[in-house]
A and B are shown apart, each in its own frame.
Chain A
């Protein structure tokens, strides 16, 4: 039992340490009726390759995940995630952008990146998540991904296709991890701030 406890403490400490190592970035935070509204930019996700991909004419997905965590703890207070699907319309010279149930048409790639990655006034959870932590220090951690693939899709897409054929696992191993994570990911966090009393 002692060993399990020690292992758990070690694991928690490792995760906490890893999160505290995320690069800091400017965040705008306002509190609206007990819930935080955050603003930040993750536009540096769009490097040259991502920009090229976004102009491929096929649907590409940008996913932004914002988590709020208590200082010095692995405990997640709340999480918010949204995805932004962008498709260049080859014959209309514009982009079709979907966020949740909303669909918009934007003229340029820069407008798409502003809409999807320059985040403004995003509710990072609901007041009920923050109520028990009033007065405590916390921070926001952001993960922005380009074309992530779900675990289910990953296993279904590249499952070896023959029963007695052990070649599958090997070739799958070589490429699996490249496929089964997003094509590009950035992570950063905010400064510490206090949950209002």
Chain B
């Protein structure tokens, strides 16, 4: 900027400054010192009848007929001094935890019309710790002084966050000749206000004949400078990973009549995996936030085939188990960015949700695996004029380097026709039905994954009430997904021609979503369809 222009630009600032000073003097009459509690004169907006034009004809004691309401344009007339904050009705929740939500401290000026103060009641309700929150003012010891009283009624803060159950096919060990149908149950329970300090403790568990696992997560909100939260997690898994497309494994026969080896059609890796996570997160805005975690995994492979091969089109190729023998260590950093503009996280009617994650494991962090995993997904909901909802979704991910199998993309996470992984453990040995008859039948694990889908939601029951069933929705979803190794897109899989060379397939789901007082439940039928041999 040139000097002359800079000088010119100062003139309006000086004029504005003079006007502001004059205005402040006008609203603060001399000779009448301000006392807390006294009304503060506010500049009124004189409406000239002539200037108001045609609208003025339809003015009444509530305003002007054509004028929209402007509820938030308030300048307050009353000020108090806050003498203290009293919290009552809290048996478990610490008073200090409640006070942290109040944007004032003792001795501050208090504006009883402040939207921020009014919103505090809603913020406290939004924690989920209370049945009711009432905030009121009471007279203090001196004129103009007030006490802010926060009266709460506590509620149960233990919530069942996730409850999943199903039937799957699995294999106990490589030498098993057939697959077994088995039930499984996964549950996540969370105490949202541990020790009354707003700490969240979650316990997740999976129980089945072939997979068992547990995980504990602790999150301490806003620990550092009241901006960053701190998170810890630890887990232990005893699992099996099922590999290959019609795998052929040579195993010692073991029987006296069978001195050599025999071929079995299962390739199973039994492993134990334990780990620890520490991380932090911060909200940029109410919609945008990030988290940064360090994850350490120790993986012990208990049992795996010496060698196994699988059919890849017309060829027989060795199975890549994507895990080191014996004990290995995975140390990685994970950065996640989330943009969440949904109107309701349970049954969403409109909005957008984006999540991008970068996970990097490197020897510099002590890892036995050097890898980089990138994934991003976005979902967008629209509310249609007839109260139905349409949703578009897209997902893309890529893994580079020596990525362990639990950080690779698994087909069960892309299709709805078999159960997804739970605690990063594979629940079902079945491949999904290959509806388009493509080369995707060769891929259970992959380095490149994508999915696009479209969903439609029809509310069939809606009731405004606090208890019981509030909403029932029928949902349908159809999508297209792909899973490949990084080399596949270049060289392809032999034995396939035309479009079937591309490893992609269809997925769909349909079912009901129930919105109840205790949360949202979903009953989907697609995994049952997966049992039908097509």
Contact A173 B346 (CB under 8 A): yes
Instruction: Tell me if A75 is interfacial: C-beta within 8 Å of chain B.
Output: no
Instruction: Tell me if B269 is interfacial: C-beta within 8 Å of chain A.
Output: no
Instruction: Tell me if B138 is interfacial: C-beta within 8 Å of chain A.
Output: yes
Contact A99 B62 (CB under 8 A): yes
Contact A171 B58 (CB under 8 A): no
Q: A87-B112, A91-B144 are in contact. Are A171 and B128 (CB under 8 A)?
A: yes
Give the contact stretch, choosing among A132-140, A147-155, A189-197: A147-155
Most A Cβ at <10 Å: residue of B37, B112, B341, B342 = B112
Instruction: Tell me if A98 is interfacial: C-beta within 8 Å of chain B.
Output: yes
Minimal beta-carbon separation of B330 from chain A (angstroms): 18
Most B Cβ at <10 Å: residue of A55, A56, A170 = A170
Q: A153-B119, A172-B126 are in contact. Are A101 and B345 (CB under 8 A)?
A: no
Contact B123 A98 (CB under 8 A): no
Give the contact stretch, choosing among A21-29, A40-48, A76-84: A76-84
Contact A158 B122 (CB under 8 A): yes
Instruction: Tell me if B200 is interfacial: C-beta within 8 Å of chain A.
Output: yes
Minimal beta-carbon separation of A36 from chain B (angstroms): 10
Give the contact stretch, choosing among B72-80, B206-214, B391-399: B72-80
Contact B125 A85 (CB under 8 A): no
Q: For A155, give the chain B residue with the smallest CB separation.
A: B343
Interface residues of B in 476-534 (CB under 8 A from A): 515, 517-520
Contact B519 A121 (CB under 8 A): no
Q: For A35, give the chain B residue with the smallest CB separation.
A: B58
Residues of B within 8 A of A158 (CB): 122-123, 125-126
Residues of A within 8 A of B192 (CB): 167, 171
Contact A167 B159 (CB under 8 A): yes
Contact B69 A59 (CB under 8 A): no
Pick from B190, B345, B517: contact of A172, CB under 8 Å:
B345
With contacts defined as CB atoms under 8 Å apart, how many contacts are there between chain A and chain B in the complex?
202
Q: For A127, give the chain B residue with the smallest CB separation.
A: B58
Q: A158-B122, A179-B125 are in contact. Are A166 and B162 (CB under 8 A)?
A: yes
Contact A59 B118 (CB under 8 A): yes
* Residues of chain B at interface, number, CB under 8 A: 85
Q: A90-B80, A92-B37, A159-B340 are in contact. Are A173 and B345 (CB under 8 A)?
A: yes
How far apart are the CA atoms of A169 and B190 in the complex, in Å? Answer: 12
Pick from B59, B135, B190, B336: contact of A164, CB under 8 Å:
B336
Binary contact track A121-148/B, C-beta < 8 Å → 1, others 0: 1111110000000000000000000000
How far apart are the CA atoms of A7 and B122 in the complex, in Å? Answer: 37
Q: For A174, give the chain B residue with the smallest CB separation.
A: B128
Residues of A within 8 A of B113 (CB): 58-59, 85, 87, 96
Instruction: Tell me if B136 is interfacial: C-beta within 8 Å of chain A.
Output: yes
Pick from A7, A96, A175: contact of B126, CB under 8 Å:
A175
Q: A82-B69, A126-B65, A167-B190 are in contact. Are A59 and B112 (CB under 8 A)?
A: yes
Contact B136 A57 (CB under 8 A): yes
Contact B69 A157 (CB under 8 A): no
Residue contacts A-B, CB under 8 angstroms, 20 given? A11-B387, A58-B137, A81-B68, A90-B80, A91-B139, A99-B63, A101-B44, A102-B63, A119-B62, A121-B61, A123-B60, A158-B122, A160-B345, A161-B229, A167-B161, A168-B345, A175-B126, A177-B470, A178-B125, A179-B125
Interface residues of A (CB under 8 A from B): 7-8, 11, 33, 35, 37, 53, 55-59, 61, 63, 80-83, 85, 87, 89-92, 96, 98-103, 119-126, 149, 151, 153-179, 181
Contacts A101-B44, A165-B219, A170-B346 aside, 17 further interface pairs with beta carbons under 8 A come to A58-B113, A58-B136, A59-B113, A90-B80, A98-B74, A99-B61, A103-B44, A122-B60, A124-B65, A154-B122, A155-B342, A157-B126, A162-B289, A163-B289, A164-B293, A165-B200, A176-B346
Closest 5 CB pairs of A and B: A57-B137, A171-B128, A158-B126, A169-B345, A56-B136
